[in-house]
Amino acid sequence: MKRFSFVLAGVSAMILSFPSLAAADRVGRNMRAYPVDAAVFEVIPRTASGAGDYWCGASDYAQRVLGASWTDPLFVVRGRGPSATTGRKSAVQFTLDPVAAGLSGAAAARANAPLNDRFPIILTNRLSPGDHMSVQQARSYCDRNPARP
């Protein structure tokens, strides 16, 4: 029985030593979210996912983990690309604070545009740096049927 306890303690210590595994949060649409740094987090799908799934996962993480309100703007920092925290092929990075996340140039101009001057459907499909919508708008993608063949 003692040997089992030592093995269990060893495995637990090993799992917790990987910060990306210990810090993962399950979010909407079967996604996972990981903090990249103090200002940025990334949403990673378990399987192929549409852009609305990323927005859904980001809004869920922003609200539940970061304490964002419904009206807080949610920004894309980096579009689809390799995960910085897990090495998976596809991840999208988001932030609630575009200045702290280092958005610059055209991305900063889009980030400073009012939330309602562009159509959310365009934002959803592009996932370009600076694209943004409110946490509540992004959360609406959690209630839609996934667009899969």
pLDDT in tens, 108-117: 666 666 655 4
Nearest CA to 93 out of 64, 132, 121, 67 is that of 132
Predicted confidence (pLDDT) per residue in 87-129, tens digit: 899 999 999 999 888 887 656 666 666 655 444 444 456 788 9
Asked if the structure places residue 111 within a domain, the reply is yes
Could you tell me the two tokens for 54? 């990323």
Asked if the structure places residue 92 within a domain, the reply is yes
Could you tell me the two tokens for 132? 């943004």
Asked if the structure places residue 130 within a domain, the reply is yes
Asked if the structure places residue 50 within a domain, the reply is yes
Identify any residues that bridge with 32 across adjacent strands, giving them in sequence order: 26, 44
Fill in the DSSP letter of residue 42: E
Asked if the structure places residue 18 within a domain, the reply is no
Asked if the structure places residue 3 within a domain, the reply is no
- Determine the structural domain holding residue 33 and report its residue range: 23-143
Q: Domain tally for the chain?
A: 1
